Amino acid sequence: MSIAAYDKVDVKKVCVIGPECTGKSELSKYLAAAYKTEWIPEYARAYLDKLGHPYQESDLVKIAHGQLRLEDEWTRDANRIVICDTNLITIKIWSDYKYGRCDDEILNLINARTYHLYLLTYIDVPWVDDPQREHPDKREFFWQLFQQEVKNTHVPFVEIKGSWEQRQQLAQEAIDKILKG
Protein backbone atom coordinates (compact mmCIF):
# COMPACT_ATOMS: atom_id res chain seq x y z
CA MET A 1 0.00 0.00 0.00
CA SER A 2 1.45 3.38 -0.93
CA ILE A 3 2.13 6.02 1.71
CA ALA A 4 -0.63 8.19 0.17
CA ALA A 5 -3.15 5.35 -0.08
CA TYR A 6 -5.57 6.77 2.44
CA ASP A 7 -5.62 10.25 0.93
CA LYS A 8 -8.49 9.01 -1.26
CA VAL A 9 -10.75 8.14 1.66
CA ASP A 10 -13.75 10.48 1.90
CA VAL A 11 -12.52 12.01 5.15
CA LYS A 12 -11.63 15.67 5.66
CA LYS A 13 -8.14 16.08 7.09
CA VAL A 14 -7.68 18.89 9.58
CA CYS A 15 -4.13 19.62 10.68
CA VAL A 16 -3.42 21.48 13.90
CA ILE A 17 -0.03 23.05 13.32
CA GLY A 18 2.22 25.70 14.80
CA PRO A 19 5.36 26.32 16.82
CA GLU A 20 6.17 24.18 19.81
CA CYS A 21 4.16 24.71 22.98
CA THR A 22 1.13 26.40 21.42
CA GLY A 23 -1.58 24.00 22.54
CA LYS A 24 -1.70 21.75 19.46
CA SER A 25 -2.09 18.44 21.29
CA GLU A 26 -4.66 19.76 23.73
CA LEU A 27 -6.71 21.27 20.90
CA SER A 28 -6.40 18.12 18.79
CA LYS A 29 -7.70 15.90 21.58
CA TYR A 30 -10.55 18.30 22.31
CA LEU A 31 -11.62 18.48 18.65
CA ALA A 32 -11.48 14.72 18.18
CA ALA A 33 -13.76 14.27 21.19
CA ALA A 34 -16.11 17.05 20.05
CA TYR A 35 -16.49 15.51 16.59
CA LYS A 36 -16.40 11.90 17.83
CA THR A 37 -13.51 11.03 15.56
CA GLU A 38 -9.85 10.08 15.57
CA TRP A 39 -6.84 12.27 16.22
CA ILE A 40 -3.34 11.46 15.11
CA PRO A 41 -0.70 12.25 17.74
CA GLU A 42 2.70 13.65 16.92
CA TYR A 43 4.84 10.63 16.07
CA ALA A 44 8.09 12.49 16.78
CA ARG A 45 7.36 12.56 20.53
CA ALA A 46 7.29 8.78 20.90
CA TYR A 47 10.20 8.34 18.50
CA LEU A 48 12.40 10.81 20.38
CA ASP A 49 11.44 9.35 23.76
CA LYS A 50 12.77 5.96 22.61
CA LEU A 51 15.79 7.28 20.71
CA GLY A 52 18.05 7.69 23.73
CA HIS A 53 20.28 10.35 22.15
CA PRO A 54 19.82 13.67 20.35
CA TYR A 55 18.14 13.26 16.98
CA GLN A 56 20.13 13.52 13.77
CA GLU A 57 19.13 14.62 10.30
CA SER A 58 18.65 10.99 9.21
CA ASP A 59 16.04 10.52 11.95
CA LEU A 60 13.75 13.06 10.29
CA VAL A 61 12.91 10.79 7.34
CA LYS A 62 12.06 7.99 9.79
CA ILE A 63 9.86 10.36 11.78
CA ALA A 64 8.14 11.50 8.58
CA HIS A 65 7.31 7.92 7.60
CA GLY A 66 6.07 7.15 11.12
CA GLN A 67 3.80 10.21 11.11
CA LEU A 68 2.27 9.21 7.79
CA ARG A 69 1.76 5.59 8.93
CA LEU A 70 -0.18 6.84 11.95
CA GLU A 71 -2.21 9.16 9.76
CA ASP A 72 -3.08 6.38 7.32
CA GLU A 73 -4.01 3.90 10.04
CA TRP A 74 -6.23 6.25 12.03
CA THR A 75 -7.89 7.83 9.01
CA ARG A 76 -9.53 4.48 8.22
CA ASP A 77 -11.61 4.71 11.40
CA ALA A 78 -12.34 8.44 11.26
CA ASN A 79 -15.85 9.87 11.41
CA ARG A 80 -16.05 12.42 8.54
CA ILE A 81 -12.90 14.22 9.69
CA VAL A 82 -9.57 13.29 11.18
CA ILE A 83 -7.56 15.64 13.37
CA CYS A 84 -3.81 15.59 12.78
CA ASP A 85 -1.67 16.91 15.64
CA THR A 86 0.96 18.28 13.21
CA ASN A 87 2.21 17.05 9.85
CA LEU A 88 5.40 16.94 7.82
CA ILE A 89 5.59 20.71 7.46
CA THR A 90 6.83 20.72 11.05
CA ILE A 91 9.64 18.35 10.11
CA LYS A 92 10.52 20.55 7.12
CA ILE A 93 10.72 23.67 9.28
CA TRP A 94 12.92 21.98 11.89
CA SER A 95 15.15 20.42 9.26
CA ASP A 96 15.60 23.73 7.43
CA TYR A 97 16.35 25.49 10.70
CA LYS A 98 18.69 22.92 12.22
CA TYR A 99 20.41 21.54 9.11
CA GLY A 100 19.92 24.28 6.52
CA ARG A 101 18.03 21.92 4.19
CA CYS A 102 15.25 19.37 4.03
CA ASP A 103 15.61 15.91 2.55
CA ASP A 104 13.95 15.58 -0.87
CA GLU A 105 12.04 12.53 0.33
CA ILE A 106 10.31 14.59 3.02
CA LEU A 107 9.51 17.33 0.50
CA ASN A 108 8.02 14.77 -1.89
CA LEU A 109 5.92 13.26 0.90
CA ILE A 110 4.63 16.72 1.82
CA ASN A 111 3.59 17.35 -1.77
CA ALA A 112 1.85 13.95 -2.01
CA ARG A 113 -0.50 14.66 0.91
CA THR A 114 -3.84 16.43 0.89
CA TYR A 115 -5.26 18.40 3.81
CA HIS A 116 -8.52 20.30 3.85
CA LEU A 117 -7.83 22.77 6.66
CA TYR A 118 -4.97 24.03 8.78
CA LEU A 119 -5.54 25.32 12.30
CA LEU A 120 -2.45 27.44 12.93
CA THR A 121 -1.90 27.82 16.67
CA TYR A 122 -0.50 31.13 17.87
CA ILE A 123 2.14 31.74 20.54
CA ASP A 124 -0.16 33.57 22.98
CA VAL A 125 -0.13 30.73 25.51
CA PRO A 126 2.48 30.32 28.25
CA TRP A 127 5.61 28.32 27.51
CA VAL A 128 5.78 25.02 29.40
CA ASP A 129 9.19 23.39 29.76
CA ASP A 130 9.54 19.96 28.21
CA PRO A 131 12.77 18.08 27.42
CA GLN A 132 11.76 17.86 23.74
CA ARG A 133 11.14 21.58 23.33
CA GLU A 134 14.14 23.46 22.05
CA HIS A 135 13.61 27.21 21.54
CA PRO A 136 11.47 29.16 24.03
CA ASP A 137 13.25 32.34 22.89
CA LYS A 138 12.37 31.91 19.19
CA ARG A 139 8.59 31.55 19.30
CA GLU A 140 7.85 34.58 17.11
CA PHE A 141 10.49 33.48 14.59
CA PHE A 142 8.97 30.00 14.30
CA TRP A 143 5.43 31.40 14.21
CA GLN A 144 6.37 33.37 11.11
CA LEU A 145 7.92 30.29 9.48
CA PHE A 146 4.81 28.21 10.14
CA GLN A 147 2.55 30.97 8.90
CA GLN A 148 4.50 31.25 5.63
CA GLU A 149 4.63 27.47 5.08
CA VAL A 150 0.89 27.10 5.66
CA LYS A 151 0.16 30.01 3.29
CA ASN A 152 2.33 28.31 0.66
CA THR A 153 0.08 25.22 0.72
CA HIS A 154 -2.91 27.18 -0.61
CA VAL A 155 -5.09 25.18 1.78
CA PRO A 156 -7.57 27.17 3.88
CA PHE A 157 -6.24 28.03 7.31
CA VAL A 158 -7.41 29.78 10.44
CA GLU A 159 -5.18 31.36 13.05
CA ILE A 160 -6.09 29.95 16.45
CA LYS A 161 -5.45 32.37 19.29
CA GLY A 162 -6.97 33.75 22.44
CA SER A 163 -8.38 32.03 25.49
CA TRP A 164 -8.99 28.29 25.49
CA GLU A 165 -12.68 28.90 24.80
CA GLN A 166 -11.88 31.28 21.93
CA ARG A 167 -9.48 28.72 20.45
CA GLN A 168 -12.12 25.99 20.64
CA GLN A 169 -14.74 28.22 19.03
CA LEU A 170 -12.46 29.37 16.18
CA ALA A 171 -11.43 25.79 15.45
CA GLN A 172 -14.97 24.42 15.51
CA GLU A 173 -16.33 27.20 13.30
CA ALA A 174 -13.60 26.47 10.73
CA ILE A 175 -14.22 22.72 10.85
CA ASP A 176 -17.98 23.15 10.57
CA LYS A 177 -17.45 25.26 7.47
CA ILE A 178 -15.41 22.61 5.66
CA LEU A 179 -17.82 19.86 6.72
CA LYS A 180 -20.71 21.77 5.17
CA GLY A 181 -18.68 22.07 1.97
User: What CATH code is carried by the domain that includes residue 91?
Assistant: 3.40.50.300
Collapsing DSSP states into helix, strand and coil, what is residue 13?
strand
Q: Do 11 and 56 meet the contact criterion of CB atoms below 8 Å apart? A: no
Task: DSSP letter for 79, please.
Answer: B
Q: What is the count of structural domains for the chain? A: 1
Domain residues for 88? 5-180
- The pLDDT value recorded for residue 113 is 94
pLDDT digits (tens, 9 = 90+) for 119-170: 999 999 987 766 555 667 889 999 999 999 999 999 999 999 999 999 999 9
Collapsing DSSP states into helix, strand and coil, what is residue 102?
coil
Q: Do 23 and 127 meet the contact criterion of CB atoms below 8 Å apart? A: no
pLDDT digits (tens, 9 = 90+) for 89-115: 999 999 999 999 999 999 999 999 999
In the sheet where 81-85 sits, what is the strand order?
Answer: 38-40, 81-85, 12-17, 117-121, 157-160
pTM of the full structure: 0.91
Average pLDDT over residues 69-94: 95
Q: Do 61 and 106 meet the contact criterion of CB atoms below 8 Å apart? A: yes
Classify strands 38-40 and 12-17 as parallel, antiparallel or unpaired.
unpaired
